[in-house]
């Protein structure tokens, strides 16, 4: 599926605020449910991993991929500890 240009531009917009933070509690079912709720209310959800949550880029990639699958969304953009999911 091709991601529309407006979605990509919106995902990369620095004005888009992070609404979900993953921290010391880890990747819980509550976090996944919160992301699903937010995706049902808006098309883009920006997620930020706290420093030290993932040890390297490979682990971040796995976390973002897991979130994508478990919330039936599409990963539109990721850079460092930030990812944006889109309700496609």
Q: What is the pLDDT of residues 20-34, one digit of tens each?
A: 999 988 899 999 999
Dist CA 31 CA 84 (whole Å): 15
C-alpha distance from residue 62 to each of 7, 24, 26, 56 (Å): 22, 17, 14, 10
Class of domain 5-86: alpha beta
Cα 2 from Cα 14, distance rounded (Å): 23
39, 19 contact by CB (below 8 A): no
The chain-wide mean pLDDT, for the chain, equals 95
Domain boundaries, the chain: 5-86
- The pTM of the full predicted model, rounded to 2 decimals, is 0.93
What tens digit of pLDDT does each residue of 47-70 get?
999 988 998 999 999 999 999 999
């Amino acid at each position: 599926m091709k991601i529309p240009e407006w979605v990509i531009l919106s995902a990369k917009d620095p004005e888009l605020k992070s609404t979900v933070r993953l921290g010391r509690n880890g990747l819980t079912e509550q976090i996944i449910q919160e992301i699903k709720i937010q995706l049902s209310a808006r098309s883009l959800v920006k997620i930020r991993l706290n420093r030290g949550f993932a040890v390297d880029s490979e682990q971040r990639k796995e976390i973002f991929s897991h979130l994508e699958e478990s919330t039936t969304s599409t990963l539109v953009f990721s850079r460092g500890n930030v990812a944006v999911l889109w309700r496609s």
